[in-house]
A and B are shown apart, each in its own frame.
Chain A
Amino acid sequence: MNNEWQQQLQQHFGYGEFRPGQESIIKRVLAGKSVLGLMATGGGKSVTYQLPALLLPGITVVVSPLISLMVDQVQQLRTKRKIPAAYLNSTQEAAEAREVLQKIASGQCKLLYISPEKLQQPYVQQALKRATVSLFAIDEAHCISAWGHDFRTDYLRLPDTVKQLGNPPVLAVTATATTAVRDEICSLFGIDRENVVVQTLNRANIAYDLAEVGGESERRQLTFDLIDRLAGPGIVYCSTRQAVEVLVAAYQLEGKRHVDGYHGGMNSMERMLIQTQFLAGELDVIIATNAFGMGIDKPDIRYVIHYQLPASLEAYSQEIGRIGRDGQPGYAMLLYSQDDIHLHQYMLDKEYPTPAQIQQFCQLYGAGAPPDPKALASIDMSEEMAAMLTFYTERALVKAQVSTTTEMANPVQDIWQETEKRKAVKQKKLAEMRSYVLTDRCLRKHLNQYFGESDLGFTRFCCSRCGLQRESYEGRQTALLQREVQNSWNLRQALDMLLPKK
């Protein structure tokens, strides 16, 4: 390994050596090649653009779809890694954004995290041109693919943006990309086949378990039993906020471990406290919706239980990917019932419009601006669906303006075809998920094959189809719940603890 790299790696990131895949990505990037990097969740994706950012002149742009993740990473870069980084997104006030832009233009920033929308602003592009972009990194690069599970329309403009910024090398990284998605990313950014670096997506230290449950009481009993027995820390994922609340309340009455809940309906201070308690080891288990986990830096999570079936294998692999980032053995349990599949199907049907709904929407839209909440309520349409229809309607209108030859014969039909296409993608994802739980062959093989991974190695056990001993993931050593000792209260002492004397 190159000496300078090693030194930087040690100094800023505290690692002695690279993890699999990192070095070959960085080598190509520093040679000025555009690269697609596929790395397992928790495989150290961020180092592949953060380290080159330090070594290259100018600035590295990191496109990221999630604002919370952006804020989190920049905070870590600044405080822990001492790297001058900044972010730009829609939540900032004008004054703050101006300050960031000035820093960029004057070359004080090595890394800029930015949302795809913000990147389209001409003044942002100008500031970046002045600073000279030497690397254009795209996090969660699968978002650009219409075949991906969370396709983002704002990602579509990125290839143009790269040109605008003087064609710097592109580094697209993702943890979940099927072969079709990979091909699409490569053709969009002109990435050569030899510059696709695939770190094994196989998570050798995770054992996959699966159980079909009959009803709610069986599901709950099994989960509580696992929480009591398994060595933590662990996460239990539920599909709804309500399920989280019910489960937490029930477990706290009878369970043995420190458990609390986390979901988007809680106020932000509560969420932050619960999350911090979990990171600090004060909670053994978090019962949460999928709102929890993004950007969480906790390497010793020992298990993830899925209380209900997730909507796709992509979501599933992302959530269990949080297990054992320290490389130690971990355990993934997926509970499902026939009802789960029906429920997903029901939600899917509700999420996408019928031709009649599109017709109603277009009539409202025809009146001028996008319809307001009151108008939407009058046709009983959710805001999410309206947002989707607004996007497709606008696109249909633009298309109609461009094509002079053919009148837009039937916008409703056009829009419906588009939304049906999206629905079909999700439908397929659900079918893949279903086939995973119904298979009688090796779970690891099934999951890895879906992502085009052939490595099937494992460290302790493979999966429940191949045979695994659940007991080997149980933890007798973990301290069970004890009543906290209630000392007599003393304000002075408590404040001295909280605010220690200098």
Chain B
Amino acid sequence: MNSQNSVAEERELLCAVALNAMLPLANERTLQAAYYILRGRKANQTLQDVHLYNLYPYYRMFPGFSKEDWDKIVATLFQNDYLQPCEGEGPSPKPTFLVTANGRQFAEHAYEKYGFAVWFAPFTRFDLAARIESFWQRLHLLVQTVSQLLGKDLGFVPVVMDKSVQQWVKEQVGPARLREAWEAGLSEELFRLWEPLQPQVQELLVAQLSGVSQVGKTLGQLAKQKQSSKVYLTLLFRYGLAASILRLSEEKQAFPLLSRLVVQENKLDPRLSDSAARTYALVQRGIHKAEIAAQRQVKESTVEDHLVEIALHCPEWDDADYLSSETRAAIMAASEQLQTSRLRLIKDRVGPTVSYLQIRLALARRQEESNE
């Protein structure tokens, strides 16, 4: 492939990723919904969409995306007749879109061609997108430090400037016993961790690392070297990291050193935003939402947002205080009949006695069940 081809591949892949993310959102959400997901917006609406439509692999795939980048992709999708604009339904409709037969075919074809099924497979959990970044930073600085220790050259500039990451690595290599364990065992554990991965993924991971004998390459440089596109390598890279995190979490005993990278020492529940985690702590003590709002000095609607977030991320939480099983069934039935997750449409069907909070809780929990 020459460089012109990789430019074409880049464009095709961006369209394919965008369109596949948009497929389940068609006729339900605006054109911007997928943009927020790919950028990794932390707003509740976006988090909920990711969950409702099972779009985990796409969440925070391109944190550097600008609105202009996105508008360009959407324009191409319209030009190629993959998308059609569409009026929304209900009393205050928002404009949405439809995916044409052409578009559906293109999306499926590209999904197949670029092996999305393989690269997306590890993204079955919500928190992975947030975790791969800190995992990579810790791993990168740790490998660099251990490599420099092994090479007996400590006059190096750390590739990661983030203070908390530096502090974490310092704790790892500070105590002599632990340092010696890292020096003796890091290479072997990395080998066992990455050996099952595809060779191209292995190479992508190792080539980005820095140490005493090499300076890491950027993803853009590797794309040029491999005459591939940066977007494709991004898919592979994220896959490699997510697969590593999952394996380390599941096989802690087999990786006594590297499993330290995935320990979450945050005292607040790491599955939630800090504020929602504080609410959850009160919820677990049996306090009702109105009282929580008063105690925490936030609006009750904010606490409701938190409850939905908790419903999404914390399967162990029992929402019976807020949602009876009959109401849940009625909401589910309405959503089925109308083939929608849009709150207002469902509310119009189930009537005024059911609150938006109840609908949101029911929808948040629905995916949980279908996943299991």
Taking Cβ atoms with an 8 Å cutoff, the residues of A that contact B are 72, 75, 79-80, 91-93, 96, 252-253, 260, 267-270, 272-274, 276-277, 280, 282, 484, 489, 491-492, 494-502
CA distance A273 to B209 in the complex (A): 9
CB distance from A371 to the nearest CB of B (A): 24
28 contacts across the A-B interface (CB closer than 8 A): A91-B163, A92-B163, A93-B163, A253-B3, A267-B64, A268-B161, A269-B140, A269-B160, A273-B159, A273-B210, A273-B215, A273-B218, A274-B218, A276-B157, A276-B215, A491-B199, A494-B206, A495-B187, A495-B190, A495-B191, A496-B187, A498-B143, A498-B206, A498-B209, A499-B187, A500-B147, A500-B151, A501-B150
B24 CB-CB contact with A under 8 Å? no
What's the least CB distance linking A428 to chain B, in Å? Answer: 36
Q: Are B157 and A75 in contact (CB under 8 A)?
A: yes
User: Chain B residues with Cβ under 8 A from A253's Cβ?
Assistant: 3
**B146 closest partner in A (C-beta):** A499
What A residues does B186 contact at CB under 8 A? 499
What's the minimum C-beta distance from B351 to chain A, rounded to whole angstroms? 38
Tell me the bound Cα distance from A92 to B203 in angstroms: 36
Closest to A282 in B: B215
The residues of A that contact B203 with a CB separation of less than 8 Å are 489, 494
Give every chain A residue within 8 A of B218 (Cβ-Cβ). 260, 270, 273-274
Query: Contact at B191–A500, with CB atoms within 8 Å?
Result: no
B140 touches A498 (CB 8 A): no
Q: Which residues of B sit under 8 angstroms from A497, Cβ to Cβ?
A: 213-214
Chain B residue numbers with a CB within 8 Å of A267 are: 64
CA distance A75 to B154 in the complex (A): 11
CB distance from B211 to the nearest CB of A (A): 5
Instruction: Report whether A276 and B159 are in contact in the complex, using a CB–CB cutoff of 8 Å.
Output: yes
Let me know if B159 and A80 touch, CB within 8 A: no
Report yes or no: B206 in contact with A500, Cβ–Cβ below 8 A.
no
Of all A-B residue pairs in the complex, the 5 with the closest CB atoms, nearest first, are A499-B187, A79-B155, A494-B206, A498-B211, A276-B215
Q: How far is the CB of B142 from chain A (nearest CB, A)?
A: 11
Contact residue among B64, B161, B214, B224 (Cβ-Cβ distance under 8 Å from A498): B214
Contact A269:B64 (CB < 8 A) given known A489-B199, A495-B190, A499-B150: no
> What's the interface size class on B, roughly?
35 or more
Extra pairs beyond A92-B163, A276-B210, A494-B206 (19, CB < 8 Å): A72-B157, A80-B155, A253-B3, A270-B218, A272-B157, A273-B216, A276-B159, A280-B215, A489-B203, A491-B206, A495-B187, A495-B191, A497-B213, A498-B143, A498-B213, A499-B146, A500-B150, A501-B187, A502-B183
Smallest beta-carbon distance B350→chain A, Å? 37
Is chain A's binding surface mostly helix, strand, loop or mixed? helix
Residues of A within 8 A of B297 (CB): none
What is the total of A-B residue contacts with beta carbons within 8 Å?
91
Q: Which residues of A contact B146 (CB under 8 A)?
A: 499
Q: Which of B154, B194, B209, B216 is in CB contact (< 8 Å) with A491?
A: B194
Known: A491-B202, A494-B203, A499-B146. A272 touches B161 (CB 8 A): yes
B212 contacts chain A at the CB level, 8 A cutoff? yes
A489 and B200 alpha carbons, distance in the complex (Å): 8
**Chain B residues in 8 Å Cβ range of A270:** 218, 220
Complex CA distance for A496 and B3, rounded to whole angstroms:
32
In the assembled complex, the Cα of A96 lies from the Cα of B200 at a distance in Å of 41
How far apart sit A252 and B154, CA to CA, in the bound complex (Å)? 34
- Bound state CA distance, A413 and B133, in angstroms? 50
Query: Do B213 and A500 touch (CB < 8 A)?
Result: yes
Q: Closest Cβ of chain B: how far from A249's Cβ, in Å?
A: 9
- Which of A72, A75, A492, A494 counts the most chain B CB atoms within 10 A? A494
* Closest A residue, CB atoms, query B209: A498
- What residues of A have a CB within 8 angstroms of the CB of B143 in the complex? 498-499
A96 to B211, CA, bound (A): 27
Chain B proximity of A184: nearest CB distance (Å)? 35
Q: For the complex, what is the distance from the CA of A270 to the CA of B216, rounded to whole Å?
A: 9
Most buried by A among B140, B146, B199, B218: B218
| B224 touching A252, Cβ below 8 Å | yes
A80 and B155 alpha carbons, distance in the complex (Å): 6
Distance to closest chain B CB from A302 (angstroms): 21
Whether a CB of chain A sits under 8 angstroms from the CB of B137 is yes
Question: Which residues from A are CB-within-8-Å of B160?
Answer: 268-269, 272
Tell me if B64 and A489 are in contact (CB < 8 A): no
CB neighbours (8 Å) of A277 from chain B are 215
Q: Considering the chains assembled together, what is the distance between the CA atoms of A268 and B150 in angstroms?
A: 26
Residue on A nearest B207 in the bound complex, by CB:
A494
Q: Which residues of A contact B151 (CB under 8 A)?
A: 500
Residues of A within 8 A of B211 (CB): 498-499
When C-beta atoms are compared, the residue in chain B nearest to A277 turns out to be B215
Contacting residues, chain A, for B162 (C-beta < 8 A): 268
B41 within 8 A of A: no
- Shortest beta-carbon distance from B64 to chain A in Å: 7
Instruction: Considering the complex, give the chain B residue whose CB is closest to the CB of A491.
Output: B202
Closest to B136 in A: A269
CB of A273 within 8 A of CB of B199, answer no
Residues of B266-295 at the interface with A, using a CB-CB cut-off of 8 Å, are none
Kindly state the separation between the CA atoms of A273 and B218 in the bound complex, as whole angstroms.
7
Determine if B337 is an interface residue (Cβ-Cβ < 8 Å): no
Q: Is the CB of A502 within 8 A of B215?
A: no
B217 located at the interface, meaning its Cβ lies under 8 Å from any Cβ of chain A in the complex? yes
- In the complex, what residue of chain A is closest to B154 when comparing beta carbons? A79
Is the CB–CB distance between B3 and A492 below 8 Å? no
Measured in the bound complex, the distance between the Cα atoms of B140 and A272 in whole Å is: 12
Residues of chain A lying within 8 A (CB to CB) of residue B217: 273
The contact string, 1 if C-beta is below 8 Å from chain A, for chain B 89-105, is: 00000000000000000
Taking CB atoms, residues of chain B closer than 8 Å to A499 are 143, 146-147, 150, 186-187, 190, 211
CA distance A274 to B161 in the complex (A): 14
Bound CA span A268–B163, Å: 13
Q: Once bound together, how far apart are the Cα atoms of A96 and B216, in whole Å? A: 29
Identify the closest chain B residue to A93 (Cβ): B163
Contacts of B200 in A (CB 8 A): 489
Residue interface mask B339-368, A partner, CB < 8 A = 1? 000000000000000000000000000000
CA distance A166 to B217 in the complex (A): 51
Distance in Å from the Cβ of A267 to the closest Cβ of chain B?
A: 7
B 176-203 contacts with A by CB, 8 A = 183-184, 186-187, 190-191, 194-195, 199-200, 202-203
Residues in chain B near residue A495, CB distance under 8 A: 187, 190-191, 206
Rounded to whole angstroms, the CA-CA distance of A270 and B218 in the bound complex is: 6
Q: Which of B154, B159, B163, B212 contacts A269 (CB 8 A)?
A: B159
In the assembled complex, which residues on chain A have CB atoms less than 8 Å from the CB atom of B156? 79
Q: Which residue of A lies closest to B149 (CB)?
A: A502
Cα A251 to Cα B163 with chains together (Å): 36
Question: In angstroms, how far is the closest chain B Cβ from the Cβ of A463?
Answer: 36
